[in-house]
Amino acid sequence: MTARRLLTRGNIGLALLVVVLLAMPNLASAFFVNFVLTQTMMLGVAAATIVFLARYGGMVSLAQFLLVGVAGFMFGNAAVEGGARGLNLGMNPWLAVVFAIVITTAVAFVLGALASRTTGLYFLMLTLVYAVIGFFVFAQIVELSGPGGITSIQRPDLMGPPVRLYYAGLVLSVLVYLGFKALGRATFGLTLQGVRDDPIRMASLGYNVPMHRTLAFTLAGFVAGLSGVLHVWWNGQIDPASIAIGPSLILLIMAVIGGISYFEGAWLGAFVYVLAFTYLRDLPLIDQIGITEARFNTVIGAVVLLIMVLSPEGLAGIAARVWRRVNKPASAAPTAPAGGPSSAA
């Protein structure tokens, strides 16, 4: 690939966006960076795994937040020493990261293998079952967590200042975004898309369909695990309620708001969600019309409903359409992706 071919508008837009995001700690308040943007990065990575499975594999998963949680619980169990609950292994924090990611990936492989022969609604239901079982596993097995969860989880010294967590989230987001995009053009990604479109034909061509689905789920689990480690560093604690069905659904809602067939949509959806959660209640007169913080879920539900009706491809879909209209004279490529969240927000 030549340098000239890399200079597409999308790539330039992405590069500009990354530059702006890198400069954000100097442009915006600490709270906006450390709370809004850091959460956006972490949740965006987790939501991107939903997009990856849906877009390439045709699998809509509700178990991704469970895998985020598995990584968090495993890191907590491994890294904490002398805590009130959990295994208290007292490992070196970086070794604990490896431990957490390995366990999460292994769990994802097993869960993926079990679900590999299901598709569509059945896959969705099965992953919903995973999420529910995961909640009870951590709530009931007191050796791993129990209802009180793992508290006092410290992040490694290298990640001490909160802004470094933001940068880590940003770097991970860029890597995951580029990685997932590149995977779509690699053999595995192309095969997976073939499996998505016509599994019977792919099987008759000699491809191992369940294995491809399993590996895709495992890869998504690995990435969700990375997000989970960041999340538990940021939050300092994790408990079963962290991975209950509510947060699992919210992650899917983020992907839907952003656009479940666009990788950009994962971060865009996460950004809009966190922005709404944080600032909606501050809008002037908003409480006068009954939208208090207690009604936040109603608002998010209405937003999702609106998006489902008006633009099933989510906000990124709207951005892509606008992008195509703006570039109509030169629009030879039918699915030029949006330049990222900046072009829509």
Q: Which residues bind other proteins (CB under 8 A)?
A: 24-36, 84-85, 139, 142, 146-149, 151-152, 161-164, 166, 235-237, 239, 241-242, 244, 247, 272, 275-280, 282-284, 292-294, 303, 306, 310-311, 315, 318, 321-322, 344-345
3-state class (DSSP) for residue 238: strand
3-state class (DSSP) for residue 277: helix
Whole-number Å distance between alpha carbons of 343 and 323:
8
Buried b (16+ CB within 10 A) or exposed e, 308-329: eeeeebbbbbbbbeebeeeeee
Backbone CA torsion sign across 176, 20, 337, 231: positive
Task: Supply the minimum distance, in Å, between the C-beta of residue 209 and other proteins.
Answer: 35
Judged by beta carbon, residue 32 or residue 109, the one nearer other proteins is 32
Conformational region of residue 31, where left means phi above 0, alpha means psi within -120 to 50, and beta covers everything else: alpha
Whole-number Å distance between alpha carbons of 258 and 44:
10
Whole-number Å distance between alpha carbons of 176 and 136:
30
Judged by beta carbon, residue 162 or residue 184, the one nearer other proteins is 162
Backbone angles phi, psi at 96, to 5 degrees: -65, -35
Task: Supply the minimum distance, in Å, between the C-beta of residue 163 and other proteins.
Answer: 4
Judged by beta carbon, residue 122 or residue 279, the one nearer other proteins is 279
**Cβ-contact 82, 154 below 8 angstroms:** no
Amino acid identity at 284: P
Largest separation between any pair of C-alpha atoms in the chain: 65
Judged by beta carbon, residue 11 or residue 140, the one nearer other proteins is 140
Task: Supply the minimum distance, in Å, between the C-beta of residue 262 and other proteins.
Answer: 14
Half-sphere exposure for 342 (CA within 13 Å, toward CB): 13
Task: Supply the minimum distance, in Å, between the C-beta of residue 168 and other proteins.
Answer: 13
Task: Supply the minimum distance, in Å, between the C-beta of residue 53 and other proteins.
Answer: 24
Task: Supply the minimum distance, in Å, between the C-beta of residue 334 and other proteins.
Answer: 17
Task: Supply the minimum distance, in Å, between the C-beta of residue 119 and other proteins.
Answer: 28
Judged by beta carbon, residue 102 or residue 286, the one nearer other proteins is 286
Judged by beta carbon, residue 24 or residue 129, the one nearer other proteins is 24
Judged by beta carbon, residue 208 or residue 237, the one nearer other proteins is 237
